[in-house]
Amino acid sequence: MSARSTQKPPWEIRREVRAALGKARNAMLSPEWDSALEGATDAQKLQAARTLLRVQSAYLRVGNAELEDIRDALVSHREALLAGKQELEKALRSMKQVRRVLENTARFVALVARVVALAA
């Protein structure tokens, strides 16, 4: 992680987290994702649906939270959020790997949920 990325202000981290969640949501609503799920098991399809709902919920919660309410949580989890965002973006580049996308998305959403819940 570069010194620049660890110096990002809370508003920028929040913006990047919300953008990453939006990208994940859009990717999981895309025709490419639908095609990737064609060969998936019923359990994987259920996990994908649940993950999409969690992504949407996190996206809305981060967007609706007042920055001052989540500022300290964003700062204390800065490294993990930025690393998680990068892993999520990397996983979304190859949507054919359903398991990898779901695992990375679930990890990122769980981290975001902890940040928002910590501030509440």
pLDDT at 104 over 80: yes
Domain of 47 in residue numbering reads as 3-119
Contacts for 59 with CB less than 8 Å, ≥ 6 apart: 18, 21, 22, 25
Confidence bin at 6 (pLDDT 50/70/90): low
Instruction: Provide the percentage of residues in the chain whose pLDDT is more than 70.
Output: 93
Which tens digit of pLDDT belongs to each residue from 42-71? 999 999 999 999 999 999 999 998 888 899
Rounded mean pLDDT, 72-90: 93
CATH of the domain at 85: 1.20.120
What's the burial of 2, exposed, middle or buried (CB within 10 Å: 0-12/13-18/19+)? exposed
Q: Which long-range contacts (CB under 8 A, 24 or more apart) does 56-60 make?
A: 56/25, 58/21, 58/109, 58/112, 58/113, 58/116, 59/18, 59/21, 59/22, 59/25
Owner of token pair 């990717």 = 27
Q: What global pTM score does this model have?
A: 0.84
Asked whether the beta carbons of 75 and 8 are under 8 A apart, the reply is no
Number of domains within the chain: 1
* 2 CB-side CA count, 13 A: 4
